[in-house]
Amino acid sequence: MATFSKYLTAKYSCLAGGGLLLLYLLRHRSQTRKKHRSKDGKKDKTAVDKVFFLRILRILHIMVPRVFCMETAYLLLIASMLVARTYCDVWMIQNGTMIESAIIGRSTKDFKIFLFSFIKFMPVIALVNNFLKLGLNELKLRFRERLTKKLYDQYLQGFTYYKMGNLDNRIANADQLLTQDVEKFCNSVVDLYSNLSKPLLDIFLYIFKLASAIGAQGPAIMMAYLLISGLFLTRLRRPIGKMTVTEQRYEGEYRYVNSRLITNSEEIAFYNGNLREKQTIHSTFKKLADHLHNFIFFRFSMGFVDSIIAKYVATVVGYLVVSRPFLSLSHSRHLHSTHSELLEDYYQSGRMLLRMSQALGRIVLAGREMTRLSGFTARITELMTVLKELNTGKYERTMVSLQEREKTILVPGSGQIINRDNIIKFDHTPLATPNGDLLIRDLTFEVRSGTNVLVCGPNGCGKSSLFRVLGELWPLFGGNLTKPERGKLFYVPQHGIRTMLLHDAVFNLLLTQLTEKETLSMTLPPPYESWCRVFRFQSLSNMFLKDMRLDLTLHLTKWTTLKYSSSEAL
Counting Cα atoms < 13 Å in the Cβ hemisphere of 415 gives: 25
- At position 149, the amino acid (one-letter code) is K
Determine contact, residues 124/383, Cβ cutoff 8 Å: no
Within-domain flag for 538: yes
Query: Could you say which of 438, 468, 488 is where a domain stops?
Result: 488
In a domain, 259, yes or no: yes
Tell me which residue of 161, 40, 148 sits closest to 380, measured CA to CA.
148
Q: Are strands 416-419 and 480-483 parallel, antiparallel or unpaired?
A: parallel
- In this structure, is residue 425 part of a structural domain? yes
- My answer on whether 304 and 415 are in the same domain is no
Q: Are residues 159 and 288 in the same domain?
A: yes
pLDDT at residue 40, as a whole number = 47
Q: Is residue 23 part of a domain?
A: yes
Domain-located, residue 494: no
For residues 130 and 216, state if they share a domain.
yes
Secondary structure string (H, E, C) spanning 502-545:
HHHHHHHHHCCCCCHHHHHCCCCCHHHHHHHHHCCCHHHHHHHH
Are 55 and 127 members of one domain? Answer: yes
**Contact between residue 432 and residue 410 where contact means Cβ atoms under 8 Å apart:** yes
34 plus 53 within the same structural domain: no
pTM above 0.85, yes or no: no
223 shares its domain with 366: yes
Looking at the structure, tell me whether residues 113 and 130 fall in a common domain. Answer: yes
Distances (CA, A) of 357 to 129, 166, 202, 226, 497: 22, 54, 10, 9, 62
pLDDT at position 23, please? 61
Residue range of the domain that includes 460: 408-488
Whether residues 374 and 472 share a domain: the answer is no
CATH of the domain at 219: 1.20.1560.10
CA distances for 273 relative to 260, 348, 398, angstroms:
12, 71, 29
Structural domains of the chain, count = 4
**According to the model, what pLDDT value does residue 32 have?**
54
Structural domain contains residue 2: no
SS3 state of residue 473: coil
What pLDDT was estimated at residue 172? Answer: 78
Q: Do 484 and 535 belong to one domain?
A: no
In terms of domains, do 506 and 476 share one?
no
- Alpha-carbon separation of residue 134 from 130, 192, 200, 416 (angstroms): 6, 16, 21, 55
Instruction: Give the H or E element holding residue 444.
Output: strand 438-448
Domain boundary among 391, 418, 446: 391
> With b meaning 16 or more CB within 10 Å and e meaning fewer, what string describes 448-476?
eeeeeeeeeeeeeebeebbbbbbebbbbb
User: Identity (one letter) of the amino acid at 252?
Assistant: G
* Residues of the chain under the 50 pLDDT cut: 1-7, 10, 37-42, 403-405, 498-503, 510-514, 516-524, 527-531, 533-541, 548-564, 566-567, 570
Q: What's 310's DSSP letter?
A: I
Of the candidates 115, 116, 77, the residue with the CA atom closest to the CA atom of residue 99: 115
- The closest alpha carbon to 371, from 197, 190, 238, 183, belongs to 238
Of 466, 488, 510, at which residue does a domain stop? 488
Residue 279 domain-assigned (yes or no): yes
Per-residue confidence (pLDDT) for residue 336, from 0 to 100: 65
Q: How many other C-beta atoms lie within 10 A of the C-beta of residue 255?
A: 17
Residue 495 in any domain: the answer is no
Our measurement of the distance from residue 225's CA atom to the centroid of its chain's CA atoms, rounded to an integer in Å, reads: 33
Full strand arrangement of the beta sheet holding 423-432: 416-419, 480-483, 423-432, 438-448
- Are residues 69 and 26 part of one domain? no
Q: Are residues 113 and 54 in the same domain?
A: yes
